[in-house]
Amino acid sequence: MVHPVRSIRLRIQLSQENLAKATGVSRQTINMIENGHTVPTLELALKLGRVLGVRVDRLFKLDRSKRLKRGTRAPKRAPASAKKRKGSPARRG
């Protein structure tokens, strides 16, 4: 996910601490979002947009390389029952 949270925050001369207080999270959370280590909840993304004065879709965009191509579907996950544990004997019914 690509986002300009840090650059917008710096442009309006807002510290991580003040942004954190205004949005009700810790400074560490803001730092993790800015460094791409975590993705904010929808609620936090809306608060960040309000405090920074920008629309949420301006703040957070999917990386183009990670978008699905039109007409394709996300890969299916194997059902939990199909996964086998390593080292466990097969069950007999």
Residues 40-66: tens digit of each pLDDT? 999 999 999 999 999 998 888 766 655
Task: Give the whole-number percent of the chain exceeding pLDDT 90.
Answer: 53
Task: Categorise residue 71: left if φ over 0, alpha if ψ from -120 to 50, beta otherwise.
Answer: left
Q: Which residue has the higher pLDDT, 65 or 20?
A: 20
> What's the pLDDT score for residue 58?
87
Q: Which residue has the higher pLDDT, 30 or 2?
A: 30
Domains and CATH numbers, the chain: 5-63 (1.10.260.40)
> What's the pLDDT score for residue 60?
81
- Per-residue DSSP letters for 67-79? SPPTT--PPPPPP
Q: Which residues pair with 2 in a beta bridge?
A: 61
State the pTM of this model.
0.64
Count the residues in the chain.
93
Return all residues near 53 (Cβ < 8 A) that are at least 6 apart. Answer: 8, 12
